[in-house]
Structures are given as C-alpha cells and as structure tokens.
Structure 1
Amino acid sequence: MNKKVYQQINETLYEEVLDNGLKVFLLPKADFHKTYGLFSTNYGSVDNHFGYQPDELTQVPDGIAHFLEHKLFEKEDGDVFQKFGQQGASANAFTSFTKTSYLFSATDQIKQNLLTLLDFVQAPYFTEETVEKEKGIIGQEIQMYDDDPNWQQFFGIIKNLYPKHPLHIDIAGTVASIADITAEDLYLCYNTFYHPSNMVLFIVGNIDPEETMAWIKENQKEKVFPEAKEIIRQYPTETIADIRPESRMEMPVMRPKGVLGIKGAMDKLPTEGRELLRFKNALNLLFQMLFGTTSANYLRLYDDGTIDDTFGFEVNLDRGFYFADFSGDSETPQDMLAEVEKILLRAAEDPEINQENLDLLKKKMLGKYFQSLNSLEFIANQFTQSLFGDTTLFDLPEVIQSITLADVKAAGASFIDPTSFSRFYMYPSESNTPIG
C-alpha cells in the first residue's frame, strides 16, 4: 500500500491497485465520527456505443447507465437500502455523463457497510419482470425533469453545442428509449463497465487504513472476475459547423431565461493532468474576474436591470468534452446575452483582468477549497473524478497558487472563440400557469 503525505493540507492518502485491477484509496480522518464510502465506475450516460473490437461495437438504448444504477439496489432477497438502514447507514447513488457512483455514510458498523457496498455492486440481479416494473418508475422521474425549467435550459444549450453527441440526451434517457431496455442489455453493460479494473473505491473518515485495506482485499479475493479487456467507446464526430447558433422553447416560467454556451475544442486542451487542472482553474478565475458578483461588469449589468441574482456561469470539463455556460433570468434575455458576448470578446483588454484581482480571487478560491475539506462527501466525489491523472484534489492548492495572469489570459485566448458560441432562450408560455 502506497502512502502519500500532503503537508500543506495535513492529509495522508493510502492507495493500492488490487490484483483484479480495482483502485483503492483510503483517507483516514481521525477527527470525524462519520465514514463515507464511494464505489465508482468509469461509465456514464454518454457511453452508449461500445465494445472490445472496432468492428464489433454495440449500441444500447439511451439512459441505460442510469437505469442500471437503479436496478443494482434490487436483489432477489430484497432491497439493499433496507440492509444499509438496518446497519445504521444511509446509502445513495448517482449517474453523471461519465460516471456511476454508489455510496454509503455511517458512524458505526463500518466493516459491514463497506462489505455491503462492495457485495451489492458486484452482484447484479436483473429479470425481465423487474426491468419492466422499473420502466414506470424511471419514466415518472424523466417526466419530472421534463417539467424543470432549469434542467431543460441546461440541456437546451447542450443540444445546441453537441447536436450529435449523446451528451445532449438526458442522463435518464427518454420515456421512449428506456422502453427498449432489456435485462440482457443491462447485463451486457454491467459486464463491460463494472469490471474492477474500470472502478475506484474511495473510503474517507475515522478508519484504520491497514485494517480497512485488509477487509477489502479479503472480500475481493473471494470473488472471481474475467480477465480485464480494453473497452472501445465510440462517439459521433462533430465539428464547429455542427453547432446550432440559436434555439428557443416555451415553458410555464415567470420570466424569460437566456444562456450563452461556448464549446471548447478538445485538441486545444493540455494533455498532461496537472496542466489540465491548471487550465480549468485559470478559466474559472478569468470568468470570476469578468462576471463574479464583485466585478465591475456584474455590478453594471445588475444595476441597469440586464441581469439579476440568478445570473451565473459554469465550466464543465470531463472525459471527451468541455464547455462553459452563462445563464440567468432577464426581461430582455437577448440584451443580456449580447452584453455577455461583448464582455467575453473583449476579455483580453478588460481592466478587470489584473494582478490585484487575480491575487484576491486565488485567495478566495483557496479559502473555499480548505473549507470544503470539512465535507467527506465533497472529498470523495471530487477525488474520484480521476480526470487529471496522478494529480488529485489534494494537489489543488499548489496548482491554484501557481496560476499566473499570463495563464489566465492564455486560457481565455484558447477558449473564447465566437464561432463556438450558441444561444438558448426560454420564454413564458401563454397558455400555462407559470412555475414559481
């Protein structure tokens, strides 16, 4: 078991790759009563076309990764949630574009809960009857998100930026797509993506690392897994020409909404993990200087009524894609997005991009980071993103401190390209009762 000490944040991380390929990370925190476990597979909603040979790829229905997440909790002898509850633990799971994760948190019976987490994720049980039953449940969940204006706004801009890529499809799929899912499909996806070599186990809390690793190894030795194979994932090819410049929809909302999206070019990204993390944070710092709540641009637009306190931005960078979105409610969403575009295109000359602001925002970012280390959930969820190679969440302070004003300007120059812009608008529908 390897041990790595992070002096600046006073953390010690233990890690080991087991014989079956499972990556295990243990972070003891003696001052905490709670222990949090996260078992994650490198498999999400975008991974719907895959296989082991280039000429033998399979395409499965949209939403299957999320469907599989739901079904793993149901076993022949009952519901796993009940077992966790009887052991004094709370359990949950979530599916993203690129990951599916299962978790528990508990203050005692840590060994039992850890083994339950490993055992239920590594023992699939699907039948056609239980699959059919689940379709109705997930169908209701999909319809709930269909009625959520913010969710629809988010996917509205993604559909503009990625019209061919499965990224633009709701993580849960559609009512039509999940209707095609079979037990055989679930087993195919499970056997492909839930091999230990494609998974990460992270345990953080009041644990003894040697003892905890012994529990995990003993559990895994009792199980037989096939030989690991390299997974081929295929995605549609897209170019800047495929971006939809603008679209709109109506929903029962009180005020119009607007979002400006920018699609990043993957071939312009740094390839080394640490540099990629620096790039992402440099871009975030740039947008904080341009649009943060204390920036001159934000205050001007807020004072003249172009934006309100719903305005914000987000940088999304993950396996195979990255984009940014700037969104908010506004009586004049076209004017709002025109102002945002103008500020972005003049970023290189913006007086807000200066050393004093950068130093202040870096301190603010570091302060928020250190505060977040009090959350075991945050640590586990962020650490297991595994997007930056050997550079981890715990390297972030050094990465942030190393970012220069030149880095920030270079990140903006690389990313802000007007040919990669898209707008999405949402307007109140006349025939429906407004939400909110």
Structure 2
Amino acid sequence: MAFEGLAGRLQEAFNKLRGKGKVTEEDVNQTMREVRLALLEADVNFKVVKDFISRVKERAVGQEVLKSLTPGQQVIKVVNEELTELMGGSQSKLNIAPKPPTIILMVGLQGAGKTTHTGKLAKYLLKQNKQPLLVAADIYRPAAIKQLQVLGDQLQVPVFSMGDEVSPVEIAINAIQYAKEQHRDVVIIDTAGRLHIDEALMDELTQIRDKIHPHEILLVVDAMTGQDAVNVAQTFNERLQLTGVILTKLDGDTRGGAAISVKAVTGCPIKFIGTGEKLDSLEPFYPDRMASRILGMGDVLTFIEKAQAAVDEEKARELEKKIRKAEFTFDDFLDQLEQIKKMGPLDELLGMIPGMNKIKGMKDLKIDDKQLSHVEAIIRSMTKEEKAHPEIINSSRRKRIAKGSGTSIQEVNRLLKQFEDMRKMMKQFSSLTKKGKRKKGFKFPFM
C-alpha cells in the first residue's frame, strides 16, 4: 500500500502529542526528530526534509500552537498543511488548448510504463468526453508500436502510426495534421525511452518539442525507484521544461519518497498517479488528500468519487427497495461485491476511511482480495433457489457447495452465518423505517 511505512512512522510519532493538554517546545523538537527520521527512511530528498522540518518547527513552536486548547492537534494541522504544500499545494490539472487539438508529449525512461500510461491517459480523457488520438512515435523498442495498437483496440481509440522507418519528428508532425482532419481534440504522443538518460534521447525529444509545441510534456517515472525517480525528473525538466509528472506504481511504493520530493526538487507538479495494472487505474494527484492519507486522516473525497464511478444507480435504487422489503438475496450480495471490486484493492479503500487505522487490529490487517473470490465462488456454486432462500441449505447441500467452489465447509458455514446476521440487521432497519423512527444509536452500515 502506498506510503505504508511512512504513514505508520508518522502516526506513531504524533500519537504521543494527541490529547496532550500542554505541549512544550521540547515535545515539538522530539516529535520533529522522529518525523525527520521517518522522512529520510522513506527516501525523501535530504534537502527537502531539512527545509520541511525547519518550516514546521518555526510554525509549531509559535504562540498560536503552544498556547492553543489542543496544541497536539495544532502541530499535526501544521504538518498536514506543510506536507500538502510540499507536494504541490493543490491539484495541477491538464493544460487544455483553447483551440483543439491539445498536444501531450509523453516522455520517460524505458520500463517506467510510458506506453501503458499513454493508454491509461487516453482512458481518463475518454471519461472527460474527449476524443483522443494515440501516436506511435517509439520506433526503436521492439513491439512498442504493436503494444500501443493493442491498447488502442481495447479503448476503441485510433492509433496513428507510420511504421519504424520514419523519424519520430515527422510522425509527430503528421499525427497532428491527421488529428485536425479527423476532429480528434487530444493528441497523445508516445515517444521512445532509453535504459538510461543519453544525449541522443534528449536531442530527439527536444526536436519533437520544438516542432510541435506541445501543451503538456508529461514525464512518466517509476515511484518505486525513490530518489532515482527525482533525479530523472530533474534531468528531464532541465532539458525539456516539463509541465507535469505521472508517478507509476505508487500502489506498490511503501516509502513514498519520490511523491514527496518531486515537486520540491524540480518545481514540476505531479499531475497523475498510477495505482494498478488496469487501464482505469490512473488518478489525478491531489496533494491535500495524499497528505491526509499519510497522516492517517483518511481520504473521503477520493473514496466517494470511486464509489460514484463504480455504483450502478439503477441497481442501487432496486437494492434499496429490496432492503426495505427485507428481500435481500445472495444474488444481490454478489452484485454488491462486483461493484466493490471495481473501486480497487480493499486495503487501499480502507486507508481512505478516517479513523480506520485507529481501530484495534485494523492497522496490521492485510486484506487478501482472494477472500472475495472465495465468497464469490461459494455463491456461484449455489442453485438459484439456494441463493434466494439460503435457509434451505442443509448439511448435504453445504458439502456440495464447498466441493463445487473449491472451499471448505467451514468457509461455507461462515458465509451463511454472516449473511443471516446481515439479513436480520436489514429486517431491523426495515421495521424501524416503517415506524418512522430509529433506535437511538442504530445506524445501518450500507445506507
């Protein structure tokens, strides 16, 4: 999970301050020492850490913090604000040309996921009602053109290619003309990468930039390479004047040093983050939301956005009617599982809910998405009648379901018990709403 190591260390440091009626300058200094170590261990640039700690201490030992009613919380508030500022302050959106097409130049080293994220960006733009054109300008890497064409087929987005015998500069120029003729309003150019930065790569990219004058030059860089990612960003920025960075593999980066350092070192904003392998696992980067997640405050807005994107409104209305009539079946449960899976990995979703890390046992909970697959397999091994009326599932039926789903009888029993408890709760909710009142303190978890 992104920032897992850093988040744990920082939250541990701040737990000592929370709830303190009085905080001294020494308390602040001690906490800042722990924060400094946590950031350095997370592979955050040394100079960035030094400047960050200096700014936080300057604000945290001021009168408005030490003499406030909740000084511990005030210190955390200062850290949250400074961390947000460090990562860019506010979301940096794509520059969209006033007159189409918007030209986006994708650059980066080989292996960072540039071609894949060219496809992901196209998918993101499709959701924004744009008409992208993908351009295969990587003529050096074997199968690079074919890879982009496969992505284009999956997305039903046209791919402009002139083969590997034409110069990338000429391909880019012709692609823009083609986009105008075909009324495509965004041109995304996938350029060649190298295993390391070299003059030939930079010269070629500079020539393309000078000929087509892109509105965006986005560097695709692997978050898991830490300070190397920052160094790569710095070098590309010096030569090309980047407009933004796409950090890939952030879901696997437990340290987070690159995400925290890039903006401060290069002055170049992170515009998107890659959070998985699927084509829709590209998210706009929000510094304030990321800072909140790192400090254990959750990220409710992203959670809501993911839910809105995944939930079928018509099915939601149907489900509400069934719940009110206490007619919830295993088929309905299966539908809900499908929609939850669309939102992303469960441990990532739980990290967005404020306070989840404070619940006993939740901090170290590792949720295996395979558990959902087991539940799914059990339900799919039931007959239509069993899904609608689970009370008919006797001992022999349980054995058959366990065998059919490749699970154990204990797992089948556990799911049936949990489902029965859920239905009882729904009946309770239904009876309370019919009476027009609810028991004090009763909250239905899914509504």
TM-score for the superposition, normalised by structure 2: 0.26
Larger Rg: 2
- Which structure shows the bigger proportion of residues in helix conformation? 2
